[in-house]
Structure 1
Amino acid sequence: MTCIPPFRDPTKPGAVIIPRQDWDRAPWNRWTFQHVRDLVPTSQVWRGQGPASPLPENLQDIDAVGFELDGQRDTIGGFLETSYADGMLLLHRGKVIAERYLNGMTPRTPHLSQSVAKSVVGTVAGILIGRGLVDPAAPITQYLPELKATAYRGATVQHVLDMTSGVVFDETYTALDSHMAQMDAACGWKERRNSSWPSNVWELILSLKEVECTHGSSFRYRSIETDVLSFVLQRAAATPLAELVSRELWAPMGAEEDAYFTVDPAGYALGDGGFNATLRDYARFALLHLGGGEINGRRIVPAAWIKETRTGALPELFGGVYHEVLPEGAYHNQFWVEDSKRRAYMARGVFGQLIYIDPEADFAAVILSSWPEFVSTTRTRTSLAAVRAIREALSL
């Protein structure tokens, strides 16, 4: 078992040591999600040398906006006080209408995005697909022939973009013996509980030998799919993921601050959930998508790929527990699609990370949180109800 020393909050001398195995869980996550690079190895995502894309303001008072969910009424002000939010930024018609920092967060504080990272990686995939470096219809083994000996044999790049491979991957966050527990260790976030477990993310991918359904037949949320996609992108571009995100996305879109990924013991930047950035730069990412792949007059992502992400999802592959939050939803190109009519889409992460993008309303919301729970249907539905209420109030 790898021995990683515990750590303390350095701002509180004599404070109780934060448990290494639980640093990303409550109550510690209220501090750690804003200090990830103090805890585990990371890799810089450089912002480049150019100026930051402007975020013009048209600030409005949104605290009194009311909403109702399951017969319970609340306001945005009340939601912010009770939702474990660390930051919220709202965009409408290209301008910031609200920007809030809570729980000690500041405009320059990077925050762990969890699975919002998947949508960052998916957007870079769209850029490389548009350039012809990656073919979504090609088998994964065209780029990663090593996976011929795994359950990914026969799956395509699009299958992992949509999480519709048939590969067995147990995503249970709280089980000590799940694939997700192995991921926590393989990515360097936690100690290995078993010496036979994979020592890095690539080894974990190579260990996946079982299939549960035919490739392309059903959506099942598997974080490992984003890591398979990340290795495809790295191989196709001959560039490590953190450098690739900097070169193709972060610097061109005019980020204000460097971002960073956590990295595993082999130096791989964790594409499925290790991305950290400031609230304002997540907002620039949202603004890029609101612009159909263009920001500050510069085309970054192909407009056709953005359109296809919103319209090309297959709702018939999406069902079961996923309908509790998105009853008319779908998943496509590493984004959650709200419904097939409005086609608003989202980046989401455990513990309450959300980027909501609605091009039809020219509206986006970024919420960064540190919930006590990994996932909560009630909290997610409440966040979406709050966001939709703000959107509707702006349209009046």
Structure 2
Amino acid sequence: MTGDHTYRDPKNPGAPVIPRAEWDIGPYNRYTFQNVRDFVPTTRVWRGTGAVSPLAEAHQDLSAIRFSHDGTERTIGTFLDETFTDGLLIMHGGKIVSETYMNGMRPETLHLSQSVGKSVVGALAGIIVGRGLLDPQAAVTAYLPELEKTAYRGATMQQVLDMTTGTTFDETYTAPDSHVAKLDAACGWKERKSVNWPQTVWQLILELSEAERPHGAAFQYRSIETDVLAFILQRVTGKMLAELVSEEIWMPMGAEHDASFTVDPAGYALACGGFNASLRDYGRFAAMIAAGGTFNGRQIVPAAWVAETRSGGNHAVFGSDYRFVLPNGAYHNQFWVEDVDRPVLMSRGVFGQLLYMDQDADFIAVKLSTWPDFINAKRTKLTLAAIHAIRNAVLAR
């Protein structure tokens, strides 16, 4: 790094530079999401020394599949082009049906997944709960008594898992003084705009003293909830998050590549959005969830946890802001539920990251993207329409 800028190409010092304050947004994300460790510190999620779990392949050409959305007919090929795709993986019946790399991405490339990482942490929580080390109905302060002076007093771990606490946290990505802007600085992604801003993620959590509603009253998407969860997991196990994901998920899953988390100035791995992995390893994780927590010949996440995650979403607390994309959806245990009447689990991240896990159809899709905007509800609906068209075509063949 040189001053406030990082060169895109060290062999060409005259090339355009990427501003430090904008490295993670469009158009720079077209490059940076595949090169995160060049911009912020990271810690390794070791895959271990075991054999890579094999993925059977039965490739099909999906590019010509046609589908209609909002009155416009497209092919999957044109859809991939217009939605800033970096990677797409489709699996059915445990086999890779299609694997596409775009925008210079390669099979070994680690791609930032933003909030997809929340589901990795949710799955990890299921493992630790299954061992009897955590009680989802226990108070957050039973594990983190330091939060007694914050708005998390009285909240349960389950409410943190479901993002239904009443804690005030402004998730407005484009607002310069929002809580999520402070999180960007506290986690080490951006510079602090004031000496009064928290220096670490833990310090930010300790400053969340305001509540906007009673705990459990409504779902509201708050990234910081996943970080609260991660600190609970670290407290009860005595291990750091990257080590836990390595030992409990990445190693037993037979991951092909090491993964990574970005880390804050205190060395804390950012649970809510700093996870990076390769396309196939995201596919292994998604396939494991879609198989009831089983993969590589092992029960990795308790089957009961996965089943309850699919069936336990509460649509009643799922507000109108979220129903535009998911009219009958829910959020539970750090996963999105597409439709509570036909549970399909999803992991979603800003700028177009998606894991789609349909257990009933034995179908999964992974889409890694670099949209120019943080969120775009119309583009999300288009993406789901494309995934549905792919699923229907694959099941019909």
For normalisation by structure 2, the TM-score amounts to 0.98
Shift of 1:53: 1.0
Aligned partner of 1:121 in structure 2 is 121
Measure, in 2, the Cα distance between the counterparts of 1:12 and 1:168: 46
The 4+ residue runs of structure 1 with deviation greater than 4 A are none
1:171/1:222 contact within 8 Å kept: yes
Q: Write the letter of the residue equivalent to 1:49.
A: T
Aligned partner of 1:391 in structure 2 is 391
- Deviation sequence 1:89-144 (CA, Å, 0-9, x none): 00000000000000000000000000001000000000001111111000000110
Measure, in 1, the Cα distance between the counterparts of 2:109 and 2:71: 36
Measure, in 1, the Cα distance between the counterparts of 2:194 and 2:67: 48
Deviates more, 1:118-127 or 1:287-296: 287-296
Q: Tell me, what secondary structure is at the counterpart of 2:135? A: coil
Aligned partner of 1:290 in structure 2 is 290
- Deviation sequence 1:56-80 (CA, Å, 0-9, x none): 1000011111111111111101111
Q: Tell me, what secondary structure is at the counterpart of 2:7? A: coil
Measure, in 1, the Cα distance between the counterparts of 2:68 and 2:250: 37
CA RMSD of the aligned region, Å?
A: 1.0
Measure, in 1, the Cα distance between the counterparts of 2:257 and 2:316: 40
Aligned partner of 2:39 in structure 1 is 39
Measure, in 2, the Cα distance between the counterparts of 1:336 and 1:243: 25
Q: Write the letter of the residue equivalent to 1:67.
A: F
1:7 aligns to 2:6 (yes or no): yes
1:88/1:366 contact within 8 Å kept: yes
Aligned partner of 1:243 in structure 2 is 243
Measure, in 2, the Cα distance between the counterparts of 1:56 and 1:12: 39
Q: Write the letter of the residue equivalent to 2:192.
A: R
Shift of 1:340: 1.1
1:41/1:263 contact within 8 Å kept: yes
Q: Write the letter of the residue equivalent to 1:238.
A: G
Q: Tell me, what secondary structure is at the counterpart of 1:214? A: coil
Structure 2: tracts of 5 or more residues without a match: none
Q: Write the letter of the residue equivalent to 1:354.
A: L
In structure 2, do the counterparts of structure 1 residues 253 and 372 end up closer, same or farther at CA, with 3 Å as the change threshold?
A: same
Aligned partner of 1:156 in structure 2 is 156
- Deviation sequence 1:223-276 (CA, Å, 0-9, x none): 000000000000011100010110111111110000000000011000000000
1:280 aligns to 2:280 (yes or no): yes
Aligned partner of 1:209 in structure 2 is 209
Shift of 1:183: 0.4
1:369 aligns to 2:366 (yes or no): no
1:144 aligns to 2:147 (yes or no): no
Measure, in 2, the Cα distance between the counterparts of 1:67 and 1:120: 31
1:259/1:276 contact within 8 Å kept: yes
Q: Tell me, what secondary structure is at the counterpart of 1:360? A: coil
Measure, in 2, the Cα distance between the counterparts of 1:288 and 1:68: 31
Q: Tell me, what secondary structure is at the counterpart of 1:132? A: coil
Shift of 1:12: 5.7
Q: Write the letter of the residue equivalent to 1:191.
A: E
Q: Write the letter of the residue equivalent to 1:38.
A: D
Q: Tell me, what secondary structure is at the counterpart of 1:233? A: helix
1:173/1:180 contact within 8 Å kept: yes
Aligned partner of 2:188 in structure 1 is 188
Measure, in 2, the Cα distance between the counterparts of 1:381 and 1:254: 33
Q: Write the letter of the residue equivalent to 1:262.
A: T
Q: Write the letter of the residue equivalent to 1:230.
A: A
Shift of 1:5: 3.7
Measure, in 2, the Cα distance between the counterparts of 1:295 and 1:8: 40
Measure, in 1, the Cα distance between the counterparts of 2:328 and 2:254: 34
Measure, in 1, the Cα distance between the counterparts of 2:74 and 2:369: 18
State the percentage of identical aligned residues: 61
Q: Tell me, what secondary structure is at the counterpart of 2:88? A: strand
Measure, in 1, the Cα distance between the counterparts of 2:3 and 2:16: 17
- Deviation sequence 1:35-90 (CA, Å, 0-9, x none): 00111111100001111111110000111111111111111011111110000000
Measure, in 2, the Cα distance between the counterparts of 1:175 and 1:116: 22
1:115/1:348 contact within 8 Å kept: yes
Aligned partner of 2:108 in structure 1 is 108
Q: Write the letter of the residue equivalent to 2:132.
A: G
Q: Write the letter of the residue equivalent to 1:326.
A: L
Deviates more, 1:285-294 or 1:265-274: 285-294
Shift of 1:4: 6.3
2:347/2:354 contact within 8 Å kept: yes
Q: Tell me, what secondary structure is at the counterpart of 2:64? A: coil
Q: Write the letter of the residue equivalent to 1:276.
A: N
Q: Tell me, what secondary structure is at the counterpart of 2:253? A: coil
Aligned partner of 2:76 in structure 1 is 76
Measure, in 2, the Cα distance between the counterparts of 1:228 and 1:12: 41
2:252/2:296 contact within 8 Å kept: no
Measure, in 1, the Cα distance between the counterparts of 2:181 and 2:81: 32
Structure 1: tracts of 5 or more residues without a match: none
Q: Tell me, what secondary structure is at the counterpart of 2:269? A: coil
1:163/1:222 contact within 8 Å kept: yes
Q: Tell me, what secondary structure is at the counterpart of 1:18? A: strand
1:254 aligns to 2:254 (yes or no): yes
Measure, in 1, the Cα distance between the counterparts of 2:355 and 2:395: 19
1:30/1:103 contact within 8 Å kept: yes
Q: Tell me, what secondary structure is at the counterpart of 1:361? A: coil
1:63/1:75 contact within 8 Å kept: yes
For normalisation by structure 1, the TM-score amounts to 0.98
Q: Size of the alignment, in residue pairs? A: 394
Measure, in 1, the Cα distance between the counterparts of 2:42 and 2:69: 40
1:4/1:191 contact within 8 Å kept: no
